[in-house]
């Protein structure tokens, strides 16, 4: 077993979670063997251009993902991070690349969803100021897709698509620069900008730790790499005094 990482009063923890921690809860990977969904490249169902061209196709994809994610439950890795937030409060920032709600289901209160949230929808009109809202419904046909009550544009999933900017970077980047420990969990180190977070933290003086089943693509940015399941490693990994 690894030595626990002991956090003291002056420490600040930045946690980045990726697909690995959700996979342990059974959130399915939606790509088939051929990397396609129903014959479409993911890039063709997850861009603003795809939505403009064929909103029904895009909504069928996200409706399937909602249906797949709905029965999934948080695992001990999610619970361990929620407990850490209870003891660290504002000294911890949890940023996730995952769009499911499993951190919140485990009890985390302050979660920065940089890639949006699967169970939220918002207006597709960029100029409309209507806020994203909770939405668990599924839309299979063009005529099912609701219109914004304010401006009449179609509703879209509250997801950061390809060619769009991640959310919450104004909170996330300063926290990366201020943290003393960065813990990445199940983040493959391939998708930017998240792949550069460990290096940003390290260059600001933080120690950097990775937990996941496989060595990430940005392994060079970590001081320590712990291979294993988040649900097994996280509950005893970090202790705050
Ligand atoms: Zn609107």
Residue 40 scores a pLDDT above 90? no
The whole-number average pLDDT for the span 120-141 is: 96
Residue 30 scores a pLDDT above 70? no
Chain segment 68-91, per-residue pLDDT in tens? 999 999 999 999 999 999 999 999
What pLDDT does residue 17 have?
A: 98
Q: Are 237 and 2 in contact (CB under 8 A)?
A: yes
The Cα 195–Cα 187 span in angstroms is 8
The Cα 161–Cα 201 span in angstroms is 25
Q: How far is the CA of 120 from the centre of ligand 1 (A)?
A: 15
In the chain, % of residues over pLDDT 90:
87
Chain segment 136-184, per-residue pLDDT in tens? 999 999 999 999 999 999 999 999 999 899 999 999 999 999 999 999 9
Higher pLDDT, 197 or 35: 197
Chain segment 198-212, per-residue pLDDT in tens? 999 999 999 999 999
Q: How far is the CA of 177 from the centre of ligand 1 (A)?
A: 35
User: Active-site residue 158, yes or no?
Assistant: no
Q: How far is the CA of 153 from the centre of ligand 1 (A)?
A: 5
Q: Which of 115, 158, 168, 192 is catalytic?
A: 115
Residue 225 scores a pLDDT above 90? yes
In the chain, % of residues over pLDDT 70:
98
Distances (CA, A) of 151 to 118, 139, 144: 22, 20, 17
Q: How far is the CA of 149 from the centre of ligand 1 (A)?
A: 7
Strands 181-185 and 155-159 come out as unpaired
Q: How far is the CA of 40 from the centre of ligand 1 (A)?
A: 28
What pLDDT does residue 149 have?
A: 95
Which tokens sit at 35? 């990397």
What pLDDT does residue 42 have?
A: 84
What pLDDT does residue 196 have?
A: 97
The whole-number average pLDDT for the span 175-194 is: 95
Q: Sorting pLDDT into bands at 50, 70 and 90, what band is 1?
A: low
What pLDDT does residue 33 have?
A: 61
Which tokens sit at 11? 């420490």
Please provide the average confidence, as pLDDT, over all residues in the chain: 94
Chain segment 89-110, per-residue pLDDT in tens? 999 999 999 999 999 999 999 9
Total-model pTM? 0.95
């Amino acid at each position: 077993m690894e030595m626990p990482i002991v956090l003291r009063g002056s420490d600040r923890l930045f946690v980045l979670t990726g697909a690995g921690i959700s996979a342990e809860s059974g959130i399915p990977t939606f790509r088939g063997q051929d990397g396609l969904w129903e014959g479409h490249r993911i890039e063709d169902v997850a861009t603003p251009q795809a939505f403009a061209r064929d909103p029904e196709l895009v909504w069928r994809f996200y409706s399937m993902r909602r249906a797949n994610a709905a029965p999934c439950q948080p695992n001990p890795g999610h619970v361990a991070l929620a407990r850490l937030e209870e003891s660290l409060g504002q000294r911890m920032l949890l940023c996730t690349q995952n769009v499911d709600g499993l951190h919140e289901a485990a009890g985390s209160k302050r979660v920065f969803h940089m890639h949006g949230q699967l169970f939220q929808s918002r207006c597709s009109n960029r100029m409309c100021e209507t806020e994203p809202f909770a939405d668990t419904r599924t839309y299979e046909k063009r005529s099912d897709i609701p219109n914004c009550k304010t401006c009449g544009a179609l509703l879209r999933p509250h997801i950061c698509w390809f060619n769009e900017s991640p959310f919450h970077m104004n909170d996330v980047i300063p926290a990366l620069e201020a943290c003393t420990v960065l813990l990445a969990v199940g983040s493959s180190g391939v998708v930017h900008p998240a792949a550069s977070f460990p290096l940003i933290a390290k260059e600001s003086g933080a120690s950097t730790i990775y937990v996941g089943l496989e060595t990430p693509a940005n392994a060079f940015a970590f001081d320590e790499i712990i291979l294993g399941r988040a649900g097994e490693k996280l509950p005893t990994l970090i202790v705050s005094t």
